[in-house]
Amino acid sequence: MISLLGIYTPLFAFVLHVHSIVLDVNDQQSIINASALLAHGVQELYNGNETGGVPGKWPYPPYYWWESGGAWGGMMQYWHFTHDDSYLNVMMDALLSQLGPNYDFILQQEAFDTGNDDQAFWVFVAMAAAEYNFPDPPSPVPPWWIVAQNAWNDYAARWNTASCGGGLKWQFYPANAGYFYKNSISNGAFFQLSARLARYTANQTYIDWANKIWNWVEDIGLMSPTYDVYDGTDEKINCSNVDHHQWTYNVGVFLYGAATLSNYTNNSQIWVERTAGLLAATDTFFTPFTNATDIMFEAVCELDNSCNVDQWSMKAYLTRWLANTSILAPYTAGRIGTLLRASALGAAAACTSGVYGNTCGSKWYVNGFNNITGLGQQLSALEAVTALLVNDTIPPRTQPQVTILVPPPDALPITTIAPTSNPNATANPLHDSPPNGVSKKDAIGYGGLLVGLAHLLI
């Protein structure tokens, strides 16, 4: 077990003196030390284990329920990559507190803040808990993979063919803003969960659904022929037009799902091509300036500081899914390693504030702290640094009866990464109209990210 008050005491003393995260991307212990400091920074913001706090949830406002799920996903990744048990009990308590009566992360008290995507970020933690061999919950709670399966059954039941030929709505409670919006993150989450359950269980049903979801997303135009993933569409116009804004987590959620299927199908050509294409499409979110090569940024809102609380956390998820993709699709590891190293150095340089010098700013390309902080910024930096441990990490496990074939090295299509479209061209990303600064639960009408589409259609 790693102790912040044990072997890291000298490190804290050093950080107090220089007020920065120390990171050598070529030294495993340096990466572990920096990750521990950043994990501590994430937990400093949590009060769910204190009087007056809500178990499982970072303080509200301003952090919505889904982002707490995203943060526990980052802590699960940290636990698996570093083997630090310091937060194991608090993670267990947090997950159990939010499971809901049907063990699927649906709670009536969170109905206003629960859409398909919100639920997914909690479900991803349960799926990772199964894959990473996190301790099973106490009886009568079922094993983590059953929790993920329960949520998957929710999604399958919500697949909506009344309009647009299928797809998940953003919201499934009719009273919530965004009920008529069908977005990429909700459908991408369903796709990724299907892929991971397919690999975990070898159940063909999950493969069939993964293909079904992918085909719908392509057919409706939420994914372009060059694998750019757009935000969403409106069922009130039968999904005849789309909001072309691109966000890091949208391409990321499909990327890791595709990589999982590439791994499960023994590098079948179609999933290798899709994985490679999606990786190429992530170029939109790297190298904001020529002197910031391969550093990640949120293309829609980061350069002009218009990201809202939700959006500041999105780099965390693309980072997580890039790292995991490199495990399951090793032909991507070279490119992903380059991106992760550059971004981690930028993220570490952004974390220079606070008592321990581990409070992080929002921009990784400014070589310093920019005074825009929060849970999303802390989580993103944690994920960026922890991801550097990916080469020393055990791949996600499966059930005992599932065999994952490993193709011979000469079968790995190392050169199949396709060129992406020009990040500066109008299609990558297309700014239909600015939705920036509107947090999705604060929006009226169809929801925050639908504002741009609504203006487009007037």
Q: Which helix (H) or strand (E) holds 205?
A: helix 204-220
Cis peptide before 400 (omega within 30 of 0): no
Angle at CA of residue 105, ends 100 and 108, nearest 5°: 55
Following CA atoms 357, 121, 322, 363 in sequence, which dihedral angle do they give, to the nearest 10 degrees? -40
CA pair distance 96, 454, nearest whole angstrom: 39
By the 8 A CB rule, do 75 and 395 touch?
no
CA distance 122 to 136: 16
Residue 405: the pLDDT is 81
> pLDDT tens string for the chain (458 positions)?
443 333 333 333 333 334 578 999 999 999 999 999 999 999 999 999 999 999 999 997 789 999 999 999 999 999 999 999 999 999 999 999 999 999 999 999 999 999 999 999 999 999 999 999 999 999 999 999 999 999 999 999 999 999 999 999 999 999 999 999 999 999 999 999 999 999 999 999 999 999 999 999 999 999 999 999 999 999 999 999 999 999 999 999 999 999 999 999 999 999 999 999 999 999 999 999 999 999 999 999 999 999 999 999 999 999 999 999 999 999 999 999 999 999 999 999 999 998 888 899 999 999 999 999 999 999 999 999 999 999 999 999 999 999 998 766 655 554 445 445 444 433 333 334 433 444 444 432 333 332 233 333 33
Residue 357 confidence (pLDDT): 84
Query: Burial, 395: exposed, middle or buried (Cβ in 10 Å; 0-12, 13-18, 19+)?
Result: exposed
- Neighbouring residues of 35: CB distance < 8 A, sequence distance ≥ 6: 78, 81, 82, 382, 385, 386, 389
> Which amino acid is located at 405 in the chain?
L
Q: Across-strand partners of 351?
A: 360
Number of helices and strands in the chain (H, E) = 14, 5
Q: What token pair was written down for 297?
A: 């940024």
d(CA 323, CA 340): 8
Neighbouring residues of 333: CB distance < 8 A, sequence distance ≥ 6:
326, 391
Query: How far is it, in rounded angstroms, from Cα 389 to Cα 88?
Result: 19
- Kindly state the DSSP code that residue 242 receives in the 8-state scheme: E
Which residues are CB-contacts of 205 (< 8 A; sequence separation ≥ 6)? none
SS3 state at 344: helix
Residue pair 397/201 in contact (Cβ under 8 Å)? The answer is: no
Return phi, psi of residue 269, to 5°: -60, -40
- One-letter amino acid for residue 156 of the chain: A
Tokens of 70: 């995203």
CA distance 115 to 185: 11
- Would you say the C-alpha torsion 137, 141, 143, 148 has a positive or negative sign? negative
Predicted confidence at residue 222, as pLDDT, reads: 97
Residue 413, pLDDT score = 55
CATH of domain 9-457: 1.50.10.20
Q: What residue segments make up the domains of the chain, in order of their start?
A: 9-457
Buried b (16+ CB within 10 A) or exposed e, 334-370: ebbbebbbbbbbbbbbbbbbbebbbbbbbbbbbeebe
DSSP 8-state assignment for residue 29: H
In the chain the first and final C-alpha atoms are separated, in Å, by 58
38, 351 Cβ separation under 8 angstroms: yes
* Pairing state between β 181-183 and 232-234: antiparallel
